[in-house]
Homo-oligomer: A and B are copies of this chain.
Amino acid sequence: MSLLFKHLRIHQIFGANTDVGKTLLTSALVRASAALGNDVYYLKPVSTGPMSDADDEYVKRFAGKHKSRVRTECLFRFGEPVSPQLAAQLAQREESKVYIPSDKEFVTAVASHVRKCATHTARPSHMYVETAGGVHSPTLSGTTQLDSYRPLFLPTILIGDSRLGGISSTISSYESLVLRGYIVDAILLFRDEYYRNWEYLSSYFAEKGVQVHAVDPPPAKHTDNNTNIQLTEQFYWKIVPSNNQGTIFDTVRHLDICHTQRLEELDSMPRRTLDTIWWPFVQHGHVKTEKDVTVIDSASGDVFSLYNGHNTESSTPSLLEPQFDGSASWWTQAVGHAHPALTMAAAQAAGRYGHVMFPEATHLPALKLAERLVKFGPGRGWASRAFFSDDGSTGMEVALKMALRAFAVREQGGLKSGIGMEKRRGLGVLGLKGSYHGDTIGAMDACEEGVYTSEWHEAKGFWLDPPTISVRNGQTVISVPPSISAESEVETQSLGWTYDITERFKTPLAAVYRQHIESTLRKLRNSERTLAALVLEPIVMGAGGMIFVDPLFQRILIDVVRSSNAFPGTLSTTPGEWSGLPVIFDEVFVGLYRLGFESIIPLLGVFPDISVNAKILTGGLVPMAVTLASDSIFKAFYSEKKVDALLHGHSYTAYPVGCEVANEALNVIEKLSKSGEWEEAKARWASPQETKLQSNGVWSFWDPDFVSELSKLPCVGEVMTLGTVLSIKIADDTAGYQSHSAQKLLDVIKSSENTEDVSPIPGGSPFGINYRTLGNVAYFMLSLNTAPEIVKAVENRIWRTLSS
């Protein structure tokens, strides 16, 4: 969460190295700011030198004529917290004399202090927060400063290095700031006449739109302390003269302008957005005023930093307030926003390749990702090939083209070049009601007609009505549609048991499902379209309304399709070959740990012939999709004729940045999965007889008791959860996608609460929750590394909102 105040301009000062004159120049900025009539606050969060040399003392001493306008403070001296607000709280956990705060505690201490200043009766108008050493110097916890302070996202000043080699360290430090998204408002350094670094740096940074200001260097240090103080004072009079002119004043005025422009820009963004942007999936007739626009200034971890200047009811003095990204930014996030490892991966691939063309070519990022997915990831055990495209929708179009061809080749004999056009066009898919495979017209045609579909939509196939799983009144329930059975609700012993397919094969429902599916397929034999593929979102149909399909039904459906009775004409008994119909798993939403498992394949116990992954694949940073296929599918395009090939490809297919980000995202997630961090959540979902969840057992990051109690609330119809997903269906509302009930009920949750509590969000501010609804369904989604105390806080907020 970042901080921004209308009447308090804050800048954080980073140094290009140790000993570049950071305190001296910051002191000059403080002095000049005061001379211009401002109340100034100087904050040194961590001071590691001896008290006599303390920077806050130094800055106070040389604050000049207007010293009374200057306050200085240090928060952690020698690692000991001295902020009165946090000292007590931290002291409770103090085990050794020197307490080392965690990153979150540290940032929260700084943020609390800044907030206090901003609302203090003295109301300083300028604040300078000076960091220690170089940009990457470690803070008390060991994290480097740039990463440690990042959640505060304060605009920065970089103090350049005027010595030999200083051009390099200044540029490098700048690049490290940029890699973390920091705004660099100015670079300030000494005007060393021998090395003249400022000359080179001024023109270098002019290209980048960053101002470089050079200041006369200080006098050499004198051995006598009093003389030294005198000389220093003279020096300050020279660079901060009484006529309020010169470089330091120029810098202060420039920083004031930056602050004003930033405020004006943020304030203008809603209007400009309403005038220029055409949003996806948004009825612009519903979003007309500036306060309806979510202005995201930055993001970090699971939190957006929002501009609240148009929200007249906002309770915080800061114009930026945190909002929990409760939809995981449309299901893409998994390791938090702006993860430094992903930024580095993107940068490295961009720096090594840019983008390079892919047909008949190869590069390491794509090859490594393909091997990883095919051999060790969701393709393990069945896939032989990876085909790259740009998003889940294009990935599904590729999957459909693969399946249709594979079917046509076997059913109609011969490759594309030998198949009649009219015959091919009559192919269709078998799927489930509520399916959704993306927004391009072909992917849409694999679904039923619905609110989402466009003028050119034509439902090409048949869709069965599936039984679903949910928690109602604290009880796990299977809802069976009337077309399958008269018994519409089956209570089960637990969520874990419900997903234990081996056990459930023994129940009567298995036979009911099989009979229903077989008879439906028999009836379909004479339908207009020849069924050519089975297309499923395994376990959960996301966009269709977070429908948790009974896995037993999906499994039996696949078994029947592949068995000898259903599609005898395209049966195969060769191991690894598709049989009956090619089976496509659309894992775009459910794959890669979204539901707590790397792949949902073990839950169903069968392999697909084709699968699609996207969203989490690239760690929530950039778009990319991968369609995996078995060798039996690949062979359907293999010949000596160019036209038989899969003639599909986007300009940026397998672009190195996307592939490398995906490789790194999978690294980060793999480490998380082995870190033991999920064990506590998993243990909560073990059955009462177990102390530990079984390896294949379903689990959730959300608390089971919370889920159970939620499902008992009068306004809640049913609840369901797996992994990071929590879905809440509002009671007594059946209007589907067009409904606004969930939206209305939860609207208040978007804004932060007016509370004195320190929230678990880094920085400690009260936070709102950004969420999306699908008609009468509200859902919430976590990252795989959301801190447990944040999950708890989100649960509490949901509970308070829905139970009131």
Contact = CB atoms under 8 A, between A and B. Distances in A.
Contacts of A443: 440-441
Copies in the complex: 2
Interface in A622-665: 622-623, 627, 629, 634, 637-653, 655, 657-658
A176 B650 CA distance: 31
A701 B89 CA distance: 69
A677 interface: no
A734 interface: no
Contacts of A357: 325, 327, 329-330, 332, 770, 772
Interface in A434-485: 438-445, 449, 451-452, 454-458, 460
Question: Quick one: which of A354, A451, A621 has the most chain B CB within 10 A?
Answer: A354
B172 A169 contact: yes
B425 A456 contact: yes
A228 to B, nearest CB: 21
Given A331-B651, A455-B401, A650-B439, A179 B622 contact: no
Interface string A338-378: 11101110111111111111111111101100110011000
Interface stretch (A55-63, A273-281, A515-523): A273-281
A136 B392 CA distance: 41
A555 to B, nearest CB: 28
A367 B273 contact: yes
A344 B182 CA distance: 12
A620 interface: yes
A440 B395 CA distance: 10
A614 interface: yes
B650 A280 contact: yes
Interface stretch (A94-102, A241-249, A291-299, A719-727): A291-299
A283 B622 contact: no
A510 interface: no
Contacts of A361: 293-296
Given A296-B363, A623-B390, A181 B280 contact: no
Nearest to A452: B647
Interface string A411-434: 000000000010011010000000
A504 interface: no
A491 interface: no
Contacts of A370: 276-277
A286 interface: yes
A579 interface: no
Contact of A425 (B455, B614, B638, B652): B455
A751 to B, nearest CB: 15
A337 B355 contact: yes
Contact of A172 (B175, B295, B349): B175
B652 A622 contact: yes
A582 to B, nearest CB: 12
B394 A351 contact: no
Q: Which of A349, A356, A641 has the most CB of B within 10 A?
A: A356
Interface stretch (A115-123, A160-168, A564-572): A160-168
A171 interface: yes
A337 B355 CA distance: 7
A270 interface: yes
A440 B389 CA distance: 11
Contact of A421 (B391, B449, B738): B449
Contacts of A169: 17, 134, 136, 169, 172-173
A23 to B, nearest CB: 14
A419 to B, nearest CB: 8
11 contacts: A17-B165, A138-B167, A144-B168, A144-B171, A279-B360, A280-B359, A296-B353, A355-B622, A401-B441, A623-B623, A642-B738
Contact of A276 (B298, B385, B457, B657): B385
Contacts of A170: 136
A593 interface: no
A137 B167 contact: yes
A281 B293 CA distance: 42
A262 to B, nearest CB: 10
A164 B19 contact: yes
Contacts of A353: 181, 296, 298-299, 337-338
A147 to B, nearest CB: 10
Interface string A131-145: 001111110001010
A615 interface: yes
Nearest to A169: B169
